[in-house]
Amino acid sequence: MKTRFLPLAAALLAPPAGALTVTGSVAGSALPETRVGVWAVSASGQPVQEVASVPVTAGGRFRLGLPDTVPAPRAQTPLSAQNVAWPGVLDPVSVSAPAQAAELKFFTYRDVNRNGTRDESEELNEATANLGRGTLFVVWVGSDVTVKANRGYEAALKRGWNALVVEVARAVKVTPYADGAEVTLRAGR
């Protein structure tokens, strides 16, 4: 009887097949003890919860895995046509169904005491993750939903973490982030 449940237990405890890992480099020279972190942010873009962070290697490289966790309730906001202020989104906006959402932003900081987490005295520097002509955008949604906006913007989001590359030109092109595609982080906005 126990042997029948082992494969089921292993499947339930295994990390999800669609786990997200972002790899890349920090533009310029990274100071010693620099970390790259992703933070769930408030509707106004202020960091609320560090979701994951990793040290930057001597060559300025990083590999950041997102845990399969739900963002803190204080980082979630109701997703509606009135409050979507994502890269490339221009009015009019439509949202296919009610959902909770949490936007992630990239930050760098210098982990001076080397404890592996950001402390109040360690300054956060917002960074943009560029991939080719686009920008990497990461969002968590509580249920499947499609967001459409002007100039061809369309993002079909699945429950959980979603990573999209948003390219803004005459039309807005939204494509899924290919795991392993190299991003370049540029601090300061």
pLDDT of residue 188: 64
Q: How far is 58 from 71, CA to CA, in rounded Å?
A: 30
Number of domains in the chain: 1
pLDDT of residue 3: 44
Residue 163 belongs to a domain: yes
pLDDT of residue 31: 84
Give the tens place of pLDDT for each residue, 29-63: 788 899 999 999 988 889 999 999 999 998 899 99
**Contact (Cβ atoms closer than 8 angstroms) between residue 137 and residue 172:** no
Residue 6 belongs to a domain: no
Residue 176 belongs to a domain: yes
Domain span at residue 159? 20-187
If you average pLDDT over every residue of the chain, what do you get? 88
Q: How far is 147 from 81, CA to CA, in rounded Å?
A: 8
